[in-house]
Structure 1
């Protein structure tokens, strides 16, 4: 499969299509904050299922058809309709996840290395969290989090860049302060020092000047390997693909 990186906002333009019909549009993504792997897509079903949001795991995803604006889901509408109902406005418990994977006869991701990870140790776990699974986070929740370099604040999270090959978040799209003329840059999760979920802050192990002079990211641009080599070279960091 080709190496394709996509913005979450861009994926919202695609219709998710089951084997026997449309099921809805992407609303947000749940990711594992220890590996930044995408665990679930939250799908708005519109008139179908009375608008009840549903969860789709990357394990169920098929190809993306660019010309038709379709993201294929290798399930039937009946399989989805009869699946366990989960309130996506509340934390998802491990018990609910167990029921979900059991319905589809899938091995849960926490018992498998199917999707792999970035090799980054979790530095941002909140041990006091009791409700639900403390490792699942929403892109909708994290959008807007402030970004702090080692020497000061630099902007906020505007979007996420996902690798559709193995469904991991490769980059956070950062919008810098107006003083930098609204420049956008990309920061990899591996460069994050800490996430303060309570105060909505992401602290990165980088200096402001390094971020200021980083290769600019323009919304909607194709992120090719040449750009990534330049980005990683600028920061002097090891490349994830090696």
Structure 2
């Protein structure tokens, strides 16, 4: 099922023995376009401490109740490595979490982007190859490929011949936790319209400039299959969208 990533904020996190808090942010990897961590605000339970939850720990999502069950106990979470307040998430911190919970650092996603997208500095893409493996000797500096959905929202999208709009949201697959599409608000160029852009179209990112560069033209975007934000996205629509741009399919 595809859901807007912003909808996850506020979802309750249910440990095996009770509620631990709610989702305050979502972090994704800008190489693989996979959700990597849920940032969970534990409120008064752990003195307003924040913890990270890996998608591999998430059970069956209950969207109606807005609950995410996780295969973790409250005691485990209480003893987990502490997430430093107001500091970026480091590779070292991630490595400690993988070791503590026994999570697989290469878990995640469908692999749709595994051979096609990979960051080259902050300017372009090449084949990613094997996933990055956090290690015990990793730097304590922030992971340069870990991005907050909150900070990425609003980034400008630049087509080959001009800007088309900004990132309003993202659609993720709640089974694989891949980011399937960027939801683009085109109001400053094409008033009243929203379009979907796959990470397949991304050819470069300059996060310091809040800009994502695409390998499509404005005309290509304007003639893409119309998207209704209220309607459910089905496979027929996705096939039409991918055929229009020449993108590979997501298993169809």
Aligned counterpart in structure 2 of residue 47 of structure 1, from 44, 51, 57: 44
State whether structure 2 residue 246 is matched by structure 1 residue 236: yes
Residue 117 of structure 2 aligns to a residue whose secondary structure is coil
Partner in structure 2 of residue 198 of structure 1: 208
TM-score if structure 1 supplies the norm length?
0.88
Residues 61 and 227 from structure 1, CA distance in 2 versus in 1: closer, same or farther, beyond 3 angstroms? Answer: same
1:184 pairs with 2:220: no
Does residue 1:21 correspond to 2:15, yes or no?
no
Using a 3 Å threshold, how does the CA distance of structure 1 residues 101 and 16 change in structure 2: closer, same or farther? same
- C-alpha distance in 2 between matches for 1:187 and 1:121: 15
Which segments of structure 1 move beyond 4 Å, counting only runs of 4 or more? none
Distance in 2 (CA, whole Å) between partners of 1:224 and 1:100 is 36
Q: CA RMSD in A?
A: 2.0
Alignment partners' CA distance in 2, 1:28 and 1:132 = 16
1:132 and 2:132 matched: no
Specify which of 141, 147, 152 is matched with residue 142 of structure 1: 152
Distance in 2, Cα, partners of 1:67 & 1:179: 36
TM-score (normalizing by structure 2): 0.85
In proportion to residue count, which structure has more helix?
Answer: 1
Superposed displacement of residue 81, structure 1: 1.5
User: Which runs of no fewer than 5 residues in structure 1 stay unpaired?
Assistant: none
Spell out, residue by residue over 1:68-95, the C-alpha distance to the aligned partner (whole angstroms, 9 max, x if none). Answer: 2211111111111111111363222221
- Cα deviations by residue, 1:181-218 (Å, 9 ceiling, x for unpaired): 23111111111010111111001111111112223333
